[in-house]
Copies of this chain bind each other. A is one copy, B any other.
């Protein structure tokens, strides 16, 4: 066994590593969700979420995974046998397809292809061809490929057709900008376990007044994810929850949102930009290919096309077993084809350098012709050139 390397490090895009202060607050004695101590934390989270979402909407909170938050959008907005448009470019975009089908929509599906972006002109054309579509579902950061869509442009197109846009920002929110109200996005859903630096188990949906009105008129089989019920609770003074909230996860969220405020949202985005730029430079330095387009907005996950001739599925396995570094490989049709370097949430420069080091050593051991240190050096150059860098997130410890 390679004992020098067994210090385990989580480098995945969800769950993401947690700041120590976030982990530690969950070890506090649990509190009652109807007592003032929790209500104060809960109210602070509701306000802090609005700032991260860039919205005046109530950010509705559910005890669920990110997919549950997505389901809330579909359950409240999709009307049986009515058309709904999904513009996807990977596994999580296809989750909108599964959800819309599960909820009985007449589906219009635009598949931009895994590794491609959804093009605004394609959306424009499709909405022109399908004038009875009321809602379009798409993805901010497609975690399965690293692609980040241009939501500002897609929202403008949707707006020009008077169609509501619902965006899965599960991995993107808090990593790359999505100022909901400025961009006129009707619905943004997210989850706790990505750039919000919390454990999985909280889902969020921020819905515009227009979306809430549309939901209120949408019949359907829903209860737990019913927006109206949740809005009603959250708008009370003090705010309330229709069901027992995930108390420990709200405590974690409260601390994490405090760290984001401390670092400053713009600086958080700047850090993610730098980490993304360094990761892409490393791929070039290693003379490997990015999976998907070279894109300076793709700052959540960097997907690397693995060299032919090596066993791609062995890469994350060996990195974890031999070096203690857990990264994610490809999912579904990309299984064994890509490796993903995550940089969303509590990641700093040295996390990226560590992941790159382990990847280089692993690729070499598996027989790929990569130059040890070439990716690391390319990333280092980016960090050095950045001058006084926004390299490290606030620890809160």
* Chain A contacts to B: CB under 8 angstroms: 8, 10, 12, 14-18, 23-24, 26-35, 37, 62-68, 71, 74-75, 80, 98-99, 102-104, 191, 193, 199-201, 220-226, 242-249, 252, 320, 326, 328
Name the distance in Å between A380's Cβ and chain B's nearest Cβ: 26
Report B-chain residues with C-beta under 8 Å of the C-beta of A80: 221
Report B-chain residues with C-beta under 8 Å of the C-beta of A29: 8, 10, 17-18, 23
- Contact check, A201 vs B246: say whether CB atoms are below 8 A apart: yes
- Contact check, A199 vs B246: say whether CB atoms are below 8 A apart: yes
- Chain A interface mostly helix, strand, loop or mixed? loop
Given known contacts A26-B27, A221-B103, is B68 in contact with A243 (CB within 8 Å)? yes
A66 vs B223: C-alpha distance when bound (angstroms):
13
A102 vs B242: C-alpha distance when bound (angstroms):
15
Q: Which of A28, A223, A226 has the most CB of B within 10 A?
A: A223
Out of B14, B17, B62, which one reaches A244, CB within 8 Å? B14
- Contact check, A30 vs B14: say whether CB atoms are below 8 A apart: no
Number of copies: 2
A-B pairs with lowest CB-CB distance, top 3: A201-B246, A27-B27, A26-B26
Listed by A's residue number, 6 A-B pairs whose Cβ atoms lie within 8 Å are A17-B30, A26-B199, A63-B200, A80-B221, A98-B223, A224-B225
- Contact check, A245 vs B65: say whether CB atoms are below 8 A apart: yes
A74 vs B225: C-alpha distance when bound (angstroms):
14
Given known contacts A23-B26, A27-B24, A221-B75, is B18 in contact with A65 (CB within 8 Å)? no
Query: Which residue of the partner chain B has the closest CB to A16?
Result: B30
Name the distance in Å between A156's Cβ and chain B's nearest Cβ: 30
